């Protein structure tokens, strides 16, 4: 078994050596930040250190496995070559409990069922001249190796995955402050649209808010007035959330937050956040206790984007992803941004945040930009503030090119900061060539799904 040395924690100061398949199986949740379920995970190795990684749900139809294996191998190795150079090898994990399958077969049948997928992954990576040095199946708390033929090492009944926090890996992760979340489905469920009896009432509230907003705009109500009303309402709701008793369990906390946000309040906030300037002002609530309350509000609003208003969730989902990233929760950040790009693949702010996460951009320059914007606005007179926010006064807006090559003349300041950071990273790589691998890098997400027909896009989108 090849030794793999992995730094623990953001600083990479504490390091452990993984020598066995058992230690690799135990390390997977710490590498991802959550416990994968019903997933295929590929992890690249660079000179014995973990590098980029990709994860995808296991397709139900075996007919889809060959194309999925080719896509995952190409995505992982291609992105690694772009960032860190060609990896030396790959480790594959196939994670599925027996209860997740369509039958009642024990874990051993899960291993046999997924064996062709493991072979396809090995062939796909080998076709790109990168060998798969280990392929493990994780099911019902046990693991099996598809690469080890020795029954004394890898018996037919599998080996137990060490749990309970008593291993060296668990102790090192605890020392480094690494927190392992539950299955990714639990993270996404906190951001997904409601599927309860409240959906019709929330839809009616959104219809009523839209019918109220359009005549007001036609009557001459300014964008700045709508922005001020939206942000004032958001602050009041955040104070209400902050004053409520704390719930430890996520489900109970979300149910309590849903009860504290009225349907008409959620509708007004969802529509108000479709304006990019209002959204950027809301993105300034990114630190400390203010950020924690804001994240709860953005989750609640994402859950209220129901029925024909599901595409409107791009704004609160992107805000939730940004705040989670700012608070250090990269798991929720990645899931929220992926969900935002699923409902609206052209949402520029989500595109840039997602690219920044994939490219390992430091979050601090974006925070610094938003802090500066907030300080400048608080220092300038009210009259100048309105002109500056609207773009009617001062210099012409900066025109930038987001990923995909589309020029967006209305790109916000936060988005411009991300775009500039990504451009500088690319220029540094061109000058330096390949660089040593960086642990914790991941391949960019490529969410699937078509854009829903809904609200009309405008210059203020993204």
CA 428 to chain centre: 25
pLDDT of residue 435: 41
87 neighbors 130 (Cβ within 8 angstroms): yes
Confidence band, pLDDT 50/70/90 cuts, at residue 33 = confident
Whole-number Å distance between alpha carbons of 132 and 42? 9
Percent of the chain at pLDDT > 70 equals 74
Tell me, yes or no, whether 17 and 78 share the same domain. Answer: yes
Which pTM does this prediction carry?
0.70
Whole-number Å distance between alpha carbons of 217 and 214? 5
Tell me, yes or no, whether 210 and 288 share the same domain. Answer: yes
416 pLDDT above the threshold of 80? no
Neighbours of 212 (CB within 10 A): 13
Q: Which helix (H) or strand (E) holds 413?
A: helix 413-432
Q: Is 443 inside a domain boundary?
A: no
Tell me, yes or no, whether 275 and 422 share the same domain. Answer: yes
Tell me, yes or no, whether 277 and 399 share the same domain. Answer: yes
pLDDT of residue 391: 42
Confidence band, pLDDT 50/70/90 cuts, at residue 156 = confident
* Domain of 69, in residue numbers: 4-180
pLDDT of residue 393: 37
Total domains in the chain come to: 2
Tell me, yes or no, whether 221 and 117 share the same domain. Answer: no
30 vs 322 pLDDT, higher one: 322
Tell me, yes or no, whether 246 and 129 share the same domain. Answer: no
Confidence band, pLDDT 50/70/90 cuts, at residue 87 = very high
Beta strand segments in 19-131, E: 39-46, 49-57, 89-95
Tell me, yes or no, whether 189 and 161 share the same domain. Answer: no
Tell me, yes or no, whether 206 and 307 share the same domain. Answer: yes
Confidence band, pLDDT 50/70/90 cuts, at residue 304 = very high
Instruction: Enter the DSSP assignment of 10.
Output: S
Tell me, yes or no, whether 115 and 190 share the same domain. Answer: no
Determine the average pLDDT of the residues in 175-179: 65
pLDDT of residue 421: 65
Write out pLDDT tens, residues 182-241.
788 889 999 999 998 889 999 999 999 999 988 887 788 888 999 999 999 999 999 999
Determine the average pLDDT of the residues in 343-371: 89
Tell me, yes or no, whether 89 and 224 share the same domain. Answer: no
């Amino acid at each position: 078994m090849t030794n793999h040395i992995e730094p623990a924690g953001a600083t990479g100061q504490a390091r452990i050596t993984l020598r066995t398949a058992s230690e690799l199986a135990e390390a997977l949740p710490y590498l991802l930040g959550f416990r994968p379920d019903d997933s295929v995970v590929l992890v690249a190795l660079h000179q014995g250190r973990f590098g980029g990684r990709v994860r995808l749900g296991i397709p139900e139809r075996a007919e889809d496995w060959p194309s999925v294996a080719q896509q995952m191998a190409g995505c992982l190795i291609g992105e690694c070559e772009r960032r860190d150079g060609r990896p030396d090898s790959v480790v594959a994990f196939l994670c599925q409990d027996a209860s997740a399958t369509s039958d009642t077969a024990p874990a051993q049948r899960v291993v046999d069922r997924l064996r062709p997928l493991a072979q396809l992954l090995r062939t796909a990576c080998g076709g790109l001249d990168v060998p798969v040095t280990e392929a493990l199946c994780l099911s019902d708390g046990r693991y099996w190796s598809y690469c080890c033929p020795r029954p004394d090492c890898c018996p037919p009944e599998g080996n137990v995955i060490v749990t309970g926090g008593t291993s060296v890996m668990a102790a090192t992760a605890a020392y480094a402050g690494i927190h392992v979340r539950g299955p990714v489905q639990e993270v996404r469920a906190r951001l997904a649209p409601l599927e309860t009896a409240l959906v019709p009432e929330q839809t009616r509230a959104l219809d009523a808010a839209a019918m109220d907003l359009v005549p007001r705009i036609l009557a001459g109500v300014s964008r700045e007035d709508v922005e001020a009303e939206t942000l004032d309402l958001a602050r009041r709701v955040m104070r209400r959330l902050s004053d409520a008793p704390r719930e430890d369990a996520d489900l109970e906390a979300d149910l309590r937050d849903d009860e504290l946000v009225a349907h008409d309040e959620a509708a007004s906030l969802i529509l108000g956040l479709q304006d990019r300037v209002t959204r950027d002002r809301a993105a300034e609530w990114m630190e400390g206790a203010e950020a924690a309350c804001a994240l709860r509000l953005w989750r609640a609003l994402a859950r209220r984007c129901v029925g024909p208003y599901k595409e409107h969730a791009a704004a609160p989902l992107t805000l939730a992803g940004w705040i989670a990233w700012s608070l250090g929760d990269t798991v929720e950040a990645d899931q929220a941004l992926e969900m935002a790009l699923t409902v609206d693949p052209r949402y520029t702010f989500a595109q840039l945040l997602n690219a920044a996460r994939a490219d390992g951009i430091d979050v601090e320059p974006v925070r610094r930009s938003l802090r500066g914007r907030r300080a400048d606005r608080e220092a300038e007179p009210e009259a100048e503030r309105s002109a500056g926010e609207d773009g009617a006064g001062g210099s012409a807006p900066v025109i930038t090119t987001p990923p995909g090559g589309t020029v967006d003349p209305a790109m916000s300041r936060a988005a411009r900061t991300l775009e500039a950071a990504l451009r500088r990273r690319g220029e540094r790589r061109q000058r330096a060539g390949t660089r040593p691998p960086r642990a914790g890098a991941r391949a960019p997400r490529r969410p699937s799904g078509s854009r829903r027909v809904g609200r009309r896009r405008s210059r203020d989108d993204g």
